[in-house]
Structure formats: C-alpha cells, structure tokens
C-alpha cells in the first residue's frame, strides 16, 4: 500500500461524507428523495463520517508518524477497511439498519480492534521516543475506542427484544458517540499532536498535560450522563453529570493552558493559515466544553435535547469543526497536504465558509424556534449552499494532496 493510495482512501471517505451531506440538504430543500430514503441516507452519512473519514484519517496520520505504510499487515488492514467501509456505506444507503449494514458495521468494529493492536504495538516499540503524556493520550484513545464498541453490540440485543423505539436504544447510540468523539478522537488527536511537538523540540509542560489527561479520562465516564439527562435519572444522574462536565472542562482548560505556554514556539512551527486553524481548533474545544456545561441547567438541557438543529449543530461543531480541522492541521504537519499556496488558502477558506454558515444557520434556526418566530428565512437554501461549499473544498483538498504527492514521487524518481 503506497502512501498515495492511502491518501486517496482518506479523501474518498471525506468526499463521500460531504457528498451525502449535499444529498441530505438537497432532499430537505427540494422535498424529493432522488431514489434514496432520507433516513437511510442519514445513516450512511453518519457512518461514513465517523467510521470512514475520521477513523481512517486519524489512523493514517499515525501511520505517517510511525512510517509503517509498507508493513504487510498494515497494508491488508487498510484494504479491508476500504472494502468493509464502502460496502457498509452502500448497505446503509440501500436498506438502512438491516442485515447487511449491521454485518459490515460489525466487521468494521473487529477491524477497529486490529487498529488498536497496531497502535499499541507501535507506541510500545517507540516509547523512548514518545513523551509520556503523548503515550498516555494515545493509550487512553484506544481504551475509549474499545469501550465505545459496547454501544453497537448492545443495539443488536436491544433491537432483538423489540425495544428499538425505547429510550435504552437511544442511550446505546449516545454511549457509542460519547466515547468516540469525546474519547477516542479527542485523545488520539491530542496524543499525536504532542508527539509532533516533541519531534520539533517544542517542550510543553508534561505535568499539566498528564494532569489534563487523567482529569479528562476519569471524567468521561460520569459525563456520559450529560447525553442522557433527558431520561430523568434524578439527583444521582445530575450529580454524576455535573462531576463529569466540570471534569471535562477542567481537563480541556489544562490542555489549553499548556498550549498557551508554548504559543510563541507554535508560531515558528506552522505558517500563518495553519496556525489560525490550530487556534480555531483550540477555540472550538473550549466552546464545546462550555456547551456541555450548559446542559446541566435542566430547562435549558431539555430544550436542547428537543431541538434537532442544536443537536446536529453540536455534532457538526465537534466532528466537522474540532476533529476535522485538527486532522487537517496534522495532515499538513505529516505532509499529506502540500505547502501553503493560493489554491490551498482558497480551499481552506471555502471549507471554513461552509462550516461557519452551517453552524450559524443551525443555531439561529434553534433560536428562532425557541422564540416562536417560525422557521429561519432561507434556512434550507443556506444549508444547501454550505454543504456545496464543503463538497467543493474537500474536492480541492483531495486534488491538492494527491497532485503534490505525484510531484514529490516524480521528483524523487
């Protein structure tokens, strides 16, 4: 498996995520299904986003850091991830949650375990070269990845008991999502970023980073109750959610504090546009923590849970904002993305325009709903424009990345 093919796979998943997003917005705007049921398309979009784009992109960054692309076992794993993910995506589009989509999403879980093994093996092999805090974050990431898979396995048992429309079914979904983006993706991206800083001789506070990890790690478990406070767990649930939310925010603040201390050194590591993207990542993770804290106010929390556009806005802020932009920053570091030029800046700018419009429209739509002002004028048209902007931006980044690698390959030959 060449590095170029791996990059193609990552951007294929990114493109399919953006394309399915356009189809979702197009259906809402026109009222036509275009041969695909909205529910099935939504399932396909969410699965290719999490199990395709974000999962594979994070794994790819790790492979570029460890230079393990040529390992035969890694090659087989990448090909299996490609085949299983694409078939899973198609199955969801055609039948939604049914036999084949469940089979291939389950196969993907077993491939996730293989990736866990590869990450642990390579981190242990290089433990003298990787800062302790970086290793902690990456070990924490794979633990959370394994824990998250309890959710999908539970869904099968819950559905078989005829409880698909019950609250416990939704809880299993929230369990999976919580430990995916608050656990696996958060820890792995920070762990790899700290390793990158160490490679560039940028010394950060190991004490603050380790404390940030442990506070955040142990807070992840009670903070799950933030996602399911709507069920009404009483005082105990509220107390656990409060402990979890405060712990997560404390862990984030410690991480941001440590980053602030090395800000001057970061300026020398990245060109201006990448530095601004990194600042945006840090801002978004802080905003995300404050939003989660707001869920503790019961009336506000119930209002949010009942407002679909806020839930979607939060998920996009996390996955399209914090996670994806952090991935793009790290893509630049490992040279998956080319040196900054005008076309690169245009592509990133177009991506940010799509992301910002998407978030503003979703949250303002919720505000209009809460104030009983009706629908936000032009809401579906603006969301459609945002999704097209994101699709074009992803296509441009795909072209930039692969054309850059072709040139590098030609130059080296």
Over residues 163-217, the pLDDT tens digits come to: 777 788 888 888 999 999 999 999 999 999 999 999 998 989 999 999 999 999 9
pLDDT over 80 (residue 69): no
Give residue 375's region: left, alpha or beta (phi > 0; psi -120 to 50).
beta
Q: Report the percent of the chain where pLDDT is more than 70.
A: 96
pLDDT of residue 409: 55
Q: Tell me the pTM.
A: 0.94
Task: Report pLDDT digits (tens) over 382-394.
Answer: 999 999 999 999 9
Distance CA 164, CA 144 (A): 25
Q: Look at residue 27 and tell me whether its pLDDT is greater than 80.
A: yes
pLDDT above 90 for 325: yes
Every domain of the chain and the residues it spans = 141-153+165-304
Residues 6 or more apart whose CB falls under 8 angstroms from that of 234 comprise none
Mean pLDDT of the chain: 89
Task: Answer with the residue of higher pLDDT: 298 or 270.
Answer: 270
Residue 126 above 80 pLDDT?
Answer: yes
The pLDDT value recorded for residue 184 is: 96
Q: What is the pLDDT of residue 413?
A: 39
Q: What is the 3-state secondary structure (H, E, C) of the chain?
A: CCHHHHHHHHHHHHHHHHHHHHHHHHHHHHCCCCCCCHHHHHHHHHHHHHHHHHHHHHHHHHHHHHCCCCCHHHHHHHHHHHHHHHHHHHHHHHHCCCHHHHHHHHHHHHHHHHHHHHHHHHHHHCCCCCCHHHHHHHHHHHHHHHHHCHHHHHHHHHHHCCCCCCHHHHHHHHHHHHHHHHHHHHHHHHHHHHHHHHHCCCCCCHHHHHHHHHHHHHHHHHHHHHHHHHHCCHHHHHHHHHHHHHHHHHHHHHHHHHHHHCHHHHHHHCCHHHHHHHHHHHHHHHHHHHHHHHCCCHHHHHHHHCCHHHHHHHHHHHHHHHHHHHHHHHHHHCCCCCCCCHHHHHHHHHHHHHHHHHHHHHHHHHHHHHCCCCCCCCHHHHHHHHHHHHHHHHHHHHHHHHHHHHHHHHHHC
Model confidence pLDDT, tens digit, residues 245-269: 999 999 999 999 999 999 988 888 8
Q: Residue 118 — very low, low, confident or very high, per pLDDT cuts 50/70/90?
A: very high
The candidate with the shortest Cα–Cα distance to 269, out of 336, 318, 197, is 197
Q: Decide if pLDDT at 79 tops 70.
A: yes
Give yes or no for residue 354 having a pLDDT over 80.
yes
């Amino acid at each position: 498996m060449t590095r170029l093919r791996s990059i193609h796979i990552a951007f294929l998943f990114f493109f399919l995520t953006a394309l399915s997003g356009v189809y979702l917005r197009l259906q809402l705007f026109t009222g036509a299904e275009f041969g695909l049921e909205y529910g099935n398309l939504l399932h396909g979009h969410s699965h290719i986003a999490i199990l395709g784009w974000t999962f594979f992109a994070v794994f790819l960054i790790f492979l570029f850091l460890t230079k393990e692309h040529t390992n035969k076992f890694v090659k087989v794993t990448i090909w299996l991830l490609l085949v299983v993910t694409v078939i899973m995506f198609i199955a969801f589009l055609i039948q939604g949650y049914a036999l084949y989509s469940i089979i291939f999403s389950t196969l993907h879980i077993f491939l996730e375990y293989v990736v866990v093994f590869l990450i642990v093996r390579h981190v242990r092999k290089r433990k003298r070269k990787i800062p302790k805090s970086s290793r902690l974050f990456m070990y924490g990431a794979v633990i959370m990845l394994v824990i998250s898979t309890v959710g999908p396995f539970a869904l099968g048992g819950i559905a078989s008991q005829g409880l698909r429309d019950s609250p416990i079914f939704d809880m299993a979904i929230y369990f999976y999502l919580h430990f995916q983006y608050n656990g696996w993706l958060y820890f792995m991206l920070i762990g790899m970023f700290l390793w990158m800083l160490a490679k560039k001789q940028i010394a950060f506070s190991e004490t603050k980073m380790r404390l940030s990890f442990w506070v955040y790690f142990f807070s992840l478990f009670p903070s799950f109750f933030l996602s399911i406070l709507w069920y009404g767990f009483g005082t105990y649930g509220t107390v656990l959610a409060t402990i979890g939310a405060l712990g997560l925010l404390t862990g984030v603040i410690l991480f941001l504090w440590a980053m602030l201390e090395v800000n001057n050194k970061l300026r020398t590591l990245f060109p201006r546009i990448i530095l601004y993207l990194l600042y945006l990542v840090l801002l978004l993770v802080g905003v995300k923590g404050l939003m989660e804290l707001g869920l503790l106010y019961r009336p506000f929390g119930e209002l949010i849970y009942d407002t679909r556009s806020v839930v979607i806005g939060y998920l996009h802020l996390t996955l399209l904002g914090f996670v994806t932009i952090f991935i793009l920053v790290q893509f630049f570091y490992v040279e998956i993305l080319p040196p900054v030029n005008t076309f690169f800046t245009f592509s990133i700018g177009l991506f940010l325009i799509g992301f910002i419009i998407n978030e503003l429209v979703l949250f303002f739509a919720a505000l209009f709903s809460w104030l009983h002002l009706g629908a936000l004028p032009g809401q579906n048209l603006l969301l459609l424009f945002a999704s097209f902007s994101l699709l074009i931006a992803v296509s441009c980044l795909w072209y930039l990345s692969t054309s850059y690698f072709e040139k590098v390959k030609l130059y080296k030959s």
